[in-house]
Amino acid sequence: MSEFSIIEKYFSVLGRARKDVLLGVGDDAAIVDTSSLHALAISVDTLIENVHFPASTSPYDIGWKSLAVNLSDMAAMAATPRWATLALTLPNTDKTWLTAFSTGFSDLAKLHNVQLIGGDTTRGNLSISVQIIGNVNEMNALRRDRAKVGDGIYVTGCLGDAALGLKSLSESLSFSLTEKDTLLTALNRPNPRVKEALQLQPYVNAAIDVSDGLAADLSHILQKSQVCGVVDVDAIPVSELYGRYSQKNHFHDLALCGGDDYELCFTVAKRHEKKVQLEAKKMGLLCTRIGDIVEGSGLRLKQKNETYKLQQSSYDHFKE
């Protein structure tokens, strides 16, 4: 298969056909209509085999996740995703792989009204770079540097299942088949909180998506906002399965440091906290208060009013 037939067959029509795409895949560049927009939000993320996903990951899941991690960045800004580009490096042209990969990407793109408008296709070790472009009114964008002393710290969903899923691939853990399936779905098919973020945005001061682990990601908010965060480790929301397993095996830190959750962590001024809970309830979204923003700097973890010490650290690509 030639480069051009791959593009034509698998990537020329992906996701939702949007009216604001004036020229999509096939020319030297795509053209989109931005005349009705305030501002653009733009982000890119790369997934590399054996770094971001194990080689055993199904191509459908790789396609899904490569877009999901980018949509999660849009969610963290309260931006609405519109267009994506895809730079794909493949070791070979495996038709079954390409069909499954492009279907996973497309299925998630359709759910979020996103169209693939361009990209690049090359040969080499498997690597996937997705750029996402969305719109946001700059006044409403959720940033990392707006947390205020007195804010409550919140997180959506449950943390740690994805990290536990990853662990279940390399270690023999005593999960039933359905339990393992649940954990691997959390790892491979994250559902980025795009709609939820838009709904909560009016009440939120600062936000980030949880991709590298809550401790690391919340620390970015704290640093950029020049405040201190006090988090009650026992308040961190985990699934029943995670809770059961971590208690037995002393894995408490996975929910704090594991990563791949793609939930939102955000801060809310006191006067808006009730409203946030109300909006979350309306959406059927689990939204948990895990701590407070106070004066000072850095992240302070506590458990039953004692200082809690992390036993592991978050992922860092360049850590020595």
Which spans of this chain sit near Mg ion (rule: CB under 5 A)? Answer: 120
* Cβ within 8 Å of residue 292, ≥6 positions away: 150, 151, 152, 153, 229, 230
Residues in the chain: 320
Q: Kindly indicate which of the ranges 70-78, 111-119, 146-154, 171-179 contains the residues binding ligand ADP, using the contact rule CB under 6 A.
A: 111-119
Q: Kindly indicate which of the ranges 25-33, 44-52, 154-162, 239-247 contains the residues binding ligand ADP, using the contact rule CB under 6 A.
A: 25-33
| Interactions with ligand ADP, residue window 67-96 (CB under 6 A) | 86, 88
Count of residues of this chain found to bind ligand ADP when the rule CB under 6 A is applied = 13
- Return the number of the residue (121 or 223) whose C-beta is nearest Mg ion: 121
Contact 210, 264 (CB under 8 A): yes
Among 63, 81, 119, 192, binds ligand ADP (CB under 6 A): 119
Of residues 201, 213, 229, 227, the one with CA closest to residue 289: 229
Q: Kindly indicate which of the ranges 26-34, 105-113, 218-226, 257-265 contains the residues binding ligand ADP, using the contact rule CB under 6 A.
A: 26-34
33: phi then psi, degrees, rounded to nearest 5: -90, 115
- Please name the residue ranges forming H helices in the chain: 3-6, 59-77, 95-111, 161-170, 177-188, 194-200, 214-225, 240-249, 254-257, 273-283
**CA separation for the pair 86, 93 (Å, rounded):** 16
Alpha-carbon 129 to chain mean position? 15
Q: Considering the rule CB under 6 A, would residue 116 count as an interface residue with ligand ADP?
A: yes
Q: Considering the rule CB under 6 A, would residue 118 count as an interface residue with ligand ADP?
A: yes
- Residue 28 CB, nearest approach to ligand ADP (Å): 4
Among 21, 25, 163, 254, binds ligand ADP (CB under 6 A): 25
**CA separation for the pair 125, 140 (Å, rounded):** 39
- Return the number of the residue (134 or 291) whose C-beta is nearest ligand ADP: 134
Residues that bind ligand ADP (CB under 6 A): 7, 11, 25-28, 86, 88, 116, 118-121
